Structure 1
């Protein structure tokens, strides 16, 4: 009985072996015909689905599973050639091919190019950007881990274990903005990568080198990217396209692990860059230089989430912190960000700040240490539930020497220069020697109350920032997908005016936040002194700075004599002081919408107990401009076709 069973097993194995041999034999007999049929199938698909012509002038098998092809091209209809390669020689894993997977073993490419061309709004790769509608079936959620793992696996299978490229160019032409990256030679032999690359643009020519270790079958790599010529590597195309100048000395990327475990995809490794230099008008007015940056990453992808795990570490010079980012769609669409800076010396933090990004901190010396934690969460379907918690723990933290921004100057006399369009304006002495300077006690209480209500109601209780206003600002900016609302306090406006500029850069905003925190949390100046300086430096009209000048410019009064209505008017023009005249009609009277705004502000102050009913006895009296400002109103009325540039550029001379 046992012998009969063994005989059956042997017979089955013989049959299977015979079938395999038949398959292999048929493959060898018909493989050239099958190859031509496969090329024809691809050609038809390129034509029907992508409106492109795919041509292989000559193709044939070589050896057991090698393929030679010549003059391979893809040309979209009515567009520039997408790629053209003179000669391709490759081999595939036969057994993987039988299971439906394409795994490239060797690859040789000689003489060819791949090019992306944009002319006007037309691109030669437009047809290939269309999303495959069959990818997402109605009511079916994508498994991020499975999708990413499948995509990565296919990509790695297409990377050969042995590869040689010679004279393969990648060309980019964006409406005349050109870059050409020519791989004169690229070889991957015995898992060792070597390259010789020439880069040509309209502005520069460089020779790059990529070298290192790469094993696409074991999911590991350690690659370095640097310049053969002297000097830093310049990044092509970004300069001409986005006016973003950037360069670096070297980049290193290491992949330690790509693994699917328990339904989760894990990707581990690190990336580093040396001497990264960036220059863009929206980032800073100077070159921003990061000497050393490194990201030790651990990406996790599950069925419903994509995240950067909190065990990841970001290093910027000597500063290190642990980020956590996630995108979760299990129940709602939720974005999370957490940042944890472990306890570190404050001076190490100051020294680690990138050059050019925090110029006002250069030369600052500190003592003590701190740690910091940020927790941010935004639910797309419940925006009101936004979480923004920022916590800094200090230990003997103090400033022993200020940098360029010496915050102590707020406590004494100094000369303030406003900056308009990058130009320094006339000096305003903040001190008693200036006849227009007005101490806080000599400013009408109505003006103090009106301005605090409109600009910063909790000025005397907060520490530079209003958490709720900041949250609402974030919600509004996310909804509108732009920076449409700020959360500026008087403290922030003071720092911006006295120590910084009005340039709209990331650098200026970051410096503003840090300087405000230092000013408010180290009690460098009292709240009363800060408010007094604020009233005496802010712009109230064309070339009108400080409340002393403003009260005479509009009403021929001292600041202590201003009425409630006059104070409401002055508080209302702070956001756009040079356009005050457009609040008046042709007869020189306040427009109805302005009166309604003043009435609303009055009612708000009454509800909050800032005003009493007795304060509003003379509320019905009109606002009469009898100072030099009335000439601007007359000019506006006289020239009904006045443009924005006219009403902004006119200035009053003191």
Structure 2
């Protein structure tokens, strides 16, 4: 027994002596190893990235500290990527022994990192090369493992104690320059304090970033505020994308990052005060959200990434629970769910962002509502798209209208179209206008043709057609652009009478809400809506209303139009100013125009809207007898070439 103990002690002594010798050898030769490591990095930068990497001086400080001076990385024939004058750091030796780099302290004095794009290219292009071996593998990604590994590596590179002075991040995008200079940055005892200067050609601002940061326990609570007066402006976006944006303050809180049960959980919240956005595609005015907060819970699994439905988004008094998911277990599936719990209608109206819903300002409502949206798109089975929108009302009633007084539709009013921000001539919608035509004096053929081509279920829907939305979404996804809308006659009426033709998010959102109010509060009858629609829409160049159109094309009243003439008028509604391109030089309809009208008439026959007797005489060529005929010889004045419209495609509904 004694001999065995002696052997164990001897073995431990040998191990300890060996370990001590390794430590001593490492300590003696560490400077040589450091130089060798820098040489390897320099060689790799030159051979793989065509860049020069150099360190003027490098040495160890104490047992685990490193000191560097004049660290430079410069791609050949391009601007320097970074230049750090002085840097000191320390690493956790025990973590380093298992191959994990974890910084303990970091000091940086005077330096810059810059991204430059000019005629020569970008100074960081060489470092964006894809890893071919990684891209060619068929191994399925585990999003939880990948996410946790990336987060852990990033947080390990954030030191527990940090001192930075005069470190700049520069961006130069073809002369659009932005500099973010960390004049002072301190992280000590888990408390973060910074002084940052942001400079562009347009402005200079002083920003303060402060709060709590504990990278080892993966928690943080950080605030961004303006040291100067006024809001914090976002740099670069205005020059690059025409997006002006600012805010008073931002708070970012990370409460928990944990991986358990094969899932990665990231919990916390983010809030922003007085967020202002201005972009021509969003709205014509500044859009302001006074207070917004996002209580988030991100979940990552082996085959999904999601924002959990326990998350909450709140802006002003509006609160809803979003669910977003990207799944890859079998098919690639995108999911979106939005649930607005029961809330007061008036709270919803007063919480709408300023500048985004200008026509709702001053509107008042009673009652409550709740809303649910369910959307799912399967990339592998696109025809199984789910789009389900439900609104549950409780004594919901509009008691006062804002700028858009929908009761206007029931009386006499003056309509003025707006084309490219220019008001067109006034058109009186009322019996005092000799061209105004009541619905019962408009040819039934024309009513049937236009309803079939524009909105077949107009008299049965409540402003929207879910199936049309689904088909619109499918086509827009396939074409990767907004190539098809889902506009009903109700939506076209709202757009024409109350809104402009600007293609902005604001206008579309206002259109949707106003249509819902119009249709679900029975403000105007369907017959009245259709009558107004026929009397205001554009039928040709400076031709508004069916009364003017019937005379302009055929020198007739709307009641006397034939089926052939009604089919023609229905097919030009989408592009009325281009009607002349449907005719050849002899004044006869081209083959594609005849096919469109035949397609529409056959569809109406199949649906029982027309009878065979109605189509008698359809073979007689269409002739323009009104002033429109004189424009057929002036087609060269149109800015759109004939070939762009003379395409033999079936009608879309």
TM-score per shorter chain, which class? over 0.9
For 1:247, the equivalent position in structure 2 comes to 246
For 1:359, the equivalent position in structure 2 comes to 358
Deviation of 1:120 after TM superposition, in Å, equals: 3.4
Q: Provide the rounded CA distance (Å) in 1 between the counterparts of 2:643 and 2:590.
A: 17
SS at structure 2 position matched to 1:64:
coil
Does structure 1 retain, via aligned residues, the 8 Å contact 2:226–2:249?
yes
Does structure 2 retain, via aligned residues, the 8 Å contact 1:579–1:647?
no
Cα distance change on mapping 1:116 and 1:614 into 2, 3 Å: same
TM-score, length-normalised on structure 1?
0.97
Does structure 2 retain, via aligned residues, the 8 Å contact 1:76–1:124?
yes
SS at structure 2 position matched to 1:341:
strand
Answer with 527-536 or 627-636: which moved more: 627-636
The CA RMSD measured in Å over matched residues stands at: 1.5
Pairing 1:598-617 to 2, within 5 Å after superposition: 598-617=597-616
For 1:644, the equivalent position in structure 2 comes to 640
Q: Provide the rounded CA distance (Å) in 2 between the counterparts of 1:604 and 1:647.
A: 26
Does structure 2 retain, via aligned residues, the 8 Å contact 1:248–1:277?
yes
Q: Provide the rounded CA distance (Å) in 2 between the counterparts of 1:127 and 1:453.
A: 57
The answer to whether residue 330 in structure 2 is matched with residue 334 in structure 1 is no
Q: Deviations over 1:507-563 (max 9, x none)?
A: 111111111111111111111111000000000011110000110111111000000
For 1:496, the equivalent position in structure 2 comes to 495
Q: Provide the rounded CA distance (Å) in 1 between the counterparts of 2:122 and 2:480.
A: 26
For 2:113, the equivalent position in structure 1 comes to 114
Q: Provide the rounded CA distance (Å) in 1 between the counterparts of 2:15 and 2:257.
A: 35
Q: Provide the rounded CA distance (Å) in 2 between the counterparts of 1:321 and 1:190.
A: 37
SS at structure 2 position matched to 1:629:
helix
For 1:170, the equivalent position in structure 2 comes to 169
For 1:217, the equivalent position in structure 2 comes to 216
Deviation of 1:139 after TM superposition, in Å, equals: 2.1
The answer to whether residue 577 in structure 2 is matched with residue 578 in structure 1 is yes
Q: Provide the rounded CA distance (Å) in 1 between the counterparts of 2:113 and 2:49.
A: 17
Does structure 1 retain, via aligned residues, the 8 Å contact 2:78–2:120?
no
Does structure 1 retain, via aligned residues, the 8 Å contact 2:143–2:302?
yes
Deviation of 1:224 after TM superposition, in Å, equals: 0.3
SS at structure 1 position matched to 2:104:
strand
Cα distance change on mapping 1:647 and 1:262 into 2, 3 Å: closer
Does structure 2 retain, via aligned residues, the 8 Å contact 1:578–1:647?
no
Deviation of 1:49 after TM superposition, in Å, equals: 1.6
The answer to whether residue 442 in structure 2 is matched with residue 443 in structure 1 is yes
The answer to whether residue 155 in structure 2 is matched with residue 131 in structure 1 is no
Q: Provide the rounded CA distance (Å) in 2 between the counterparts of 1:211 and 1:285.
A: 35
Q: Provide the rounded CA distance (Å) in 2 between the counterparts of 1:94 and 1:162.
A: 16
Q: Deviations over 1:628-654 (max 9, x none)?
A: 111111323xx5x86439999xxxxxx
Deviation of 1:138 after TM superposition, in Å, equals: 2.2
Q: Provide the rounded CA distance (Å) in 2 between the counterparts of 1:25 and 1:372.
A: 70
For 1:409, the equivalent position in structure 2 comes to 408
SS at structure 2 position matched to 1:134:
helix
Q: Provide the rounded CA distance (Å) in 1 between the counterparts of 2:129 and 2:267.
A: 31
Does structure 1 retain, via aligned residues, the 8 Å contact 2:581–2:642?
no
Q: Which runs of 5+ in 2 are unaligned?
A: 645-653
Deviation of 1:490 after TM superposition, in Å, equals: 0.5
Pairing 1:146-157 to 2, within 5 Å after superposition: 146-157=145-156
Q: Provide the rounded CA distance (Å) in 1 between the counterparts of 2:478 and 2:641.
A: 32
TM-score, length-normalised on structure 2?
0.97
Deviation of 1:16 after TM superposition, in Å, equals: 3.0
SS at structure 1 position matched to 2:403:
coil
Pairing 1:374-523 to 2, within 5 Å after superposition: 374-523=373-522
Q: Provide the rounded CA distance (Å) in 2 between the counterparts of 1:201 and 1:554.
A: 58
The answer to whether residue 201 in structure 2 is matched with residue 202 in structure 1 is yes
Q: Deviations over 1:94-138 (max 9, x none)?
A: 111111111111101111100000013711111111222333552
Q: Deviations over 1:355-387 (max 9, x none)?
A: 011111111100000111111100000000000
Q: Deviations over 1:395-440 (max 9, x none)?
A: 1111000111111111111111100110111111111111110000
Does structure 2 retain, via aligned residues, the 8 Å contact 1:136–1:142?
no
